[in-house]
């Protein structure tokens, strides 16, 4: 998925190790990737996170 690609630690590492001059767009992209990775790590640390679509939720019938 696009989100998984965006959170790819290897891709982030490659961006950080790239010596080319960075544009504002590069920095915005890097910030977005780091934020997505941070969110992924937080979700992994809290398996009860209701915003995680991979965690099945129980439906309460009335």
What is the span of the domain harbouring residue 27? 2-45
| Residue 61 CB-density burial (10 A; 0-12 exposed, 13-18 middle, 19+ buried) | exposed
SS3 call for 35: helix
Residue 62 lies in a domain: no
Q: Say whether pTM exceeds 0.95.
A: no
Cα four-point dihedral sign 39, 56, 51, 48: negative
Residue 59 lies in a domain: no
Residue 51 lies in a domain: no
pLDDT digits (tens, 9 = 90+) for 1-53: 445 555 678 888 887 888 888 899 988 988 998 888 888 888 777 767 666 66
Helix or strand (DSSP H, E) at 16: helix 9-17
- Residue 42: predicted pLDDT: 82
Indicate the number of domains in the chain: 1
């Amino acid at each position: 998925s696009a989100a998984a690609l965006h959170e790819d630690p290897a891709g982030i590492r490659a961006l950080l190790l790239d010596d080319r001059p960075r544009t504002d767009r590069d920095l915005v992209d890097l910030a977005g990737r780091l934020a997505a990775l941070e969110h992924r790590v937080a979700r992994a640390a809290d398996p009860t996170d209701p915003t995680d679509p991979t965690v099945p939720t129980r439906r309460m019938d009335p």
